């Protein structure tokens, strides 16, 4: 769809001092331009950089689009908060919105929709519009008058006039205002105001409509009919829209073809089609038709000229984009056909999908000429074939009566015996082999030689030129050897799961003895506790039901509980049981005594601790395994950061806090996460998927080496952070490891579908990066690899790596004791 890239073009064209926010972004660019080397950082050059734990954010409306119809009705209904804009005022607003980077992803019709949702707000002389520190969710355009941006000391730091905008962060989420804005004390003023929810509605609506129309159009292209739904969805996120006026030439005959077009509206005329006796004068194409699809296969010359007959809107897909997403089209089509063939073989049906893909990746292409023998009957074969192109025949010698099908020897061919006059006999050549079957594209042969090493039951001879995919027995052996690590991991996990289930059944509130408080959150506290019957130590997260109801988090906590009880990976926090009484709910989880990864990269005084490449690689591997598991189960995590990674007693890292995790059935539009880790598509509200976790992994890998996230703001200005992310510039230390830099850039790609993990749809692809090339995954999974750090605990109840919680902090929940929950918690 290309709108994420348009943000960078917009920012490049902005005037650096057009507003206070742009000045903030400019100063950050200067800061990055002076990024010191890793060596300088280690020597204390950045000792002034102080960091503390970062809070996450969530869209309070909990907005998540499931279809665009409701959004359309909402926009058509407009708003009832004040006077709606006149048509000429709407045009003024559209012009002002175009100048703001937050709206740079939007088309004109989207900006017009937003203008219809705005209302006029009248402001008295000297009236405060927004106050620093207060929560706000509105965005403003100055309609008339003058407004001052005032600092805490009362000094005016900026002056806003007609056409100026402010309050952008309120569009992204309900955030604390970063400045106070006051109207001219001598004269009234007016503002155009936009509630933040409408921005996200409009952005989501456009994204949904474009995605679904693109997907429908792609499904009609015959050339692409063998692509899977998942592959089509990946492509649908990357097409772009073009508009032409009557008479515009879209395609010239004879020019190299590199783009396929699908007509969304209007009509086009194809002229000068073909040549010679096959030439056609003209053909008219309309909405739903497509042309130029051969461009996805090769850059062969266009066979016709295509001209817009009316106003035309088309969806375009170029060959380079398709190839970057899925690979060359012909290879994708061949691969899909091979995979379907492999899945049709009875003995392969129970082989895991990932293993079948590994087998196909090992296949090679072989060619045979007409009448060339591919396999000989009776030979010990060691190759399995899938016919790709051409035709072959299966030949068998007629069997003698003495032949036994169970014999390990090859069958004896029948010979013709002719008696001679002198009493001798003449043995002629064997009876010709019989053709028993024809082998066509997609058919297989030779598999029995792979599976049980038996002799070939028939000969295979090429009838025409033949092209086959071939897999040898050695290929099979190598693949199965390579998955021994995975099988070992699976077997060990089954043993652990069995033991944990028995333990979980024995957990009750009366069986737990609290030892100390080891953490505190928004809804309650976390205790270290002993399970008295077994003597095992656990963590118990207790939350007040009334508090959850007050903050409208009941649904979220129920979703988190459901998800926690479904997941099972050694790289994710293990939840043994959930319990409740009349006022509280309890999550009983494993106890991770190593504390947060954040405390391994930041001192208690807030100074950064830079990790080595080796240590960073280890913790990244833990996250890769965790995210790999979640994504394979269609779960998006959405809050990857060092604060949400805890270390166990051996130093292995696990993801915790699944409050933002969600089971996906498509794109999701809820804004949540930590500002410095937000992917561009989350900020822009255009819908996101698992690729946001890959973006977060790139930020984490960068932060562990450099000591700060690449998009942070010195004064923790969330708007500046969001602008930095949309700007997209990342600076690296001059002496940095090039392989480390490459993996960061591969993950922090502007377009979600081009991030490292999305190229073939799995985080496994990240292992192909050079930075991970020599990492010993087998010893890592078997836990024989030395860890970067092991917690120095004196006992199982040592709390030295947990934050200290004072009695005063615990009083925050005193009021909850007197409030009974009003909701239905039955069955939690």
Identify the burial level of 533 via C-beta atoms within 10 angstroms of its C-beta, where 0-12 means exposed, 13-18 middle and 19 or more buried.
Answer: exposed
HEC per residue, 41-104: HHCCCCCCCCCCCCCCEECCCCCCCCCCHHHHHHHHHCCCCCEECCHHHHHHHHHHHHCCHHHC
Residues 6+ apart with CB under 8 A from 455: 378, 379, 380, 381, 408, 410, 449
311 labelled catalytic: no
Nearest CA among 133, 143, 141 for reference residue 167: 141
How far apart are alpha carbons 438 and 466 in whole angstroms?
A: 13
Question: For the sheet containing 147-150, what is the strand order?
Answer: 128-130, 180-183, 147-150, 156-160
Token readout for 543 is 């939350």
How far apart are alpha carbons 519 and 318 in whole angstroms?
A: 52
Other CB atoms closer than 10 Å to residue 302's CB: what's the count? 21
Burial string for 402-430 (b: 16+ CB within 10 Å, else e) reads eeeeeeeebbbbeeeeeeeeeeeeeeeee
Question: For the sheet containing 268-273, what is the strand order?
Answer: 249-251, 305-308, 268-273, 280-285
How far apart are alpha carbons 580 and 182 in whole angstroms?
A: 49
Residue holding tokens 């996120």? Answer: 237
Helix (H, G, I), strand (E, B) or coil at 394: strand
Helix (H, G, I), strand (E, B) or coil at 304: coil
Helix (H, G, I), strand (E, B) or coil at 435: strand
- Residue from 59, 475, 615, 639 carrying the catalytic annotation: 639
Residue 384 and residue 446 in contact, taking contact as beta carbons nearer than 8 Å = yes
How far apart are alpha carbons 661 and 171 in whole angstroms?
A: 23
Q: How far apart are the first and last CA of the chain?
A: 42
How far apart are alpha carbons 607 and 41 in whole angstroms?
A: 11
Helix (H, G, I), strand (E, B) or coil at 164: coil
DSSP state of 463: S
Residue 618 and residue 602 in contact, taking contact as beta carbons nearer than 8 Å = no
Widest pairwise Cα distance in the chain: 137
Where would I find the beta strands (DSSP E) of 106-146?
119-123, 128-130, 135-136, 138-144
- 541 annotated to bind ligand: yes
How far apart are alpha carbons 570 and 629 in whole angstroms?
A: 10
Nearest CA among 114, 333, 112, 99 for reference residue 228: 333
Residues 6+ apart with CB under 8 A from 545: 580, 583, 584, 585, 821, 823, 825
Q: Helices 196-219 & 108-117, crossing angle to 10 degrees?
A: 150
Q: How far is CA 84 from CA 79, 120, 147, 554, in A?
A: 8, 6, 22, 36
Angular region, 728: left φ>0, alpha ψ -120 to 50, beta rest: left
3-state helix, strand, coil in the chain (%, to 5): 35, 25, 40
Contacts of range 326-335, beta carbons closer than 8 Å, 24 or more positions apart: 326/231, 326/234, 326/235, 326/760, 329/223, 329/296, 329/297, 330/297, 332/227, 332/231, 333/226, 333/227, 334/388, 334/469, 335/360
**Residues catalogued as catalytic:** 639
Q: Which residues are annotated as a binding site for ATP?
A: 541
């Amino acid at each position: 769809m290309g709108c994420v890239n348009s943000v960078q073009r917009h920012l490049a064209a902005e005037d650096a001092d057009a507003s206070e926010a742009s000045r903030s972004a400019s100063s950050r660019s200067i800061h990055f331009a002076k990024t010191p080397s890793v060596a300088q950082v280690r020597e204390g050059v950045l000792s002034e950089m102080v960091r503390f734990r970062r809070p996450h954010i969530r869209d309070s409306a909990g907005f998540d689009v499931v279809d665009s119809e409701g959004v359309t009705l909402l926009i058509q209904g407009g708003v009832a908060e004040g006077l709606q804009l006149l048509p000429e005022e709407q045009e003024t607003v559209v012009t002002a919105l175009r100048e703001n980077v937050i709206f740079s992803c939007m088309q004109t019709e989207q900006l017009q929709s937003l203008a219809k949702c705005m209302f006029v707000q009248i402001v008295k002389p000297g009236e405060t519009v927004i106050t620093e520190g207060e929560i706000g969710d509105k965005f403003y355009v100055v309609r008339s008058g003058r407004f001052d941006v005032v600092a805490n000391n009362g000094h005016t730091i900026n002056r806003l006039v007609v056409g100026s905008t402010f309050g952008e962060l309120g569009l992204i989420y309900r955030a604390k205002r970063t400045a106070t804005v006051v109207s001219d004390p001598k004269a009234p003023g007016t503002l155009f105001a936009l509630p933040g929810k409408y921005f996200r509605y409009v952005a989501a609506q456009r994204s949904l409509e474009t995605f679904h129309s693109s997907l429908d159009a792609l499904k009609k292209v015959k050339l692409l009919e063998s692509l899977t739904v998942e592959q089509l969805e990946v492509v649908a996120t990357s097409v772009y829209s073009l508009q032409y006026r009557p008479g515009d030439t879209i395609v010239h005959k004879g020019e190299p073809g590199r783009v396929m077009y699908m007509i969304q509206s209007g009509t086009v005329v194809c002229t000068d089609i073909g040549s010679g006796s096959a030439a056609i004068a003209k053909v008219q194409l309309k909405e739903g038709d497509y042309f130029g699809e051969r461009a996805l296969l090769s850059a062969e010359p266009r066979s016709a000229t295509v001209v817009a007959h009316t106003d035309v809107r088309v969806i375009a897909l170029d060959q380079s984009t398709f190839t970057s997403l899925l690979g060359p089209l012909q290879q994708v089509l061949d691969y899909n056909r091979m995979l379907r063939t492999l899945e049709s073989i009875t003995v392969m049906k129970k082989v895991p999908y990932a293993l079948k893909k590994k087998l196909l990746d090992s296949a090679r292409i072989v060619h045979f000429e007409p009448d060339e023998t591919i396999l000989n009957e009776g030979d010990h074969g060691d190759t399995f074939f899938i016919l790709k192109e051409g035709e072959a025949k299966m030949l068998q010698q007629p069997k003698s009566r003495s032949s036994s099908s169970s014999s390990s020897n090859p069958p004896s061919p029948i010979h013709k015996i002719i008696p001679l006059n002198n009493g001798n006999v003449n043995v002629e050549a064997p009876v010709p082999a019989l053709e028993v079957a024809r082998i066509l594209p997609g058919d297989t042969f030779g598999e029995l030689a792979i599976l049980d090493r038996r002799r070939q039951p028939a000969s295979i001879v090429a009838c025409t030129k033949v092209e086959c995919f071939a897999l040898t027995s050695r290929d099979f052996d190598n693949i199965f050897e390579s998955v021994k690590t995975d099988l070992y991991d699976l077997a060990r996990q089954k043993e652990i799961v069995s033991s944990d289930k028995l333990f979980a059944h024995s957990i009750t509130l009366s069986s737990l003895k609290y030892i100390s408080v080891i953490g505190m959150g928004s809804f309650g506290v976390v205790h270290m506790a002993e399970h008295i019957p077994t003597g095992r130590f656990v963590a118990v997260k207790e939350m007040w039901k009334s508090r959850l109801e007050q903050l409208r988090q009941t649904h979220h906590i129920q979703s988190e509980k459901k998800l926690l009880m479904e997941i099972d990976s050694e790289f994710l926090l293990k939840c043994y049981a959930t319990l409740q009484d009349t006022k509280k709910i309890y999550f009983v989880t494993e106890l991770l005594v190593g504390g947060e990864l954040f405390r391994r990269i930041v001192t208690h005084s807030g100074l950064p601790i830079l990790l080595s490449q080796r240590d960073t690689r280890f913790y990244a591997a833990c996250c890769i395994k965790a995210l790999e598991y979640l994504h394979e189960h269609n779960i998006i995590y959405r809050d990857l950061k060092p604060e949400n990674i805890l270390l166990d007693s051996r130093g292995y890292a696990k993801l915790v806090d699944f409050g933002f995790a969600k089971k996906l059935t498509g794109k999701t539009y809820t804004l949540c996460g930590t500002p410095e880790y937000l992917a561009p598509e989350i900020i822009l509200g255009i819908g996101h998927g698992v690729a946001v976790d890959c973006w977060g992994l790139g930020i984490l890998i960068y932060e562990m080496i450099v000591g700060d996230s690449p998009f942070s703001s010195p004064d923790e200005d969330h708007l500046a952070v969001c602008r930095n992310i949309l700007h997209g510039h990342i600076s690296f230390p001059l002496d940095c490891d090039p392989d480390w830099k490459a993996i960061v850039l591969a993950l922090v790609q502007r377009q979600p579908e081009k991030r490292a993990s999305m190229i073939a749809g799995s985080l496994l692809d990240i292992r192909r990066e050079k930075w991970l090339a020599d990492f010993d995954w087998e010893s890592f999974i078997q836990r024989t690899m030395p860890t970067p750090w092991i917690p120095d605990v004196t006992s199982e109840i040592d709390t030295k790596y947990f934050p200290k919680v004072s009695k005063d902090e615990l009083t925050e929940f005193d009021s909850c004791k007197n409030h009974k929950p009003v909701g239905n918690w039955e069955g939690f």
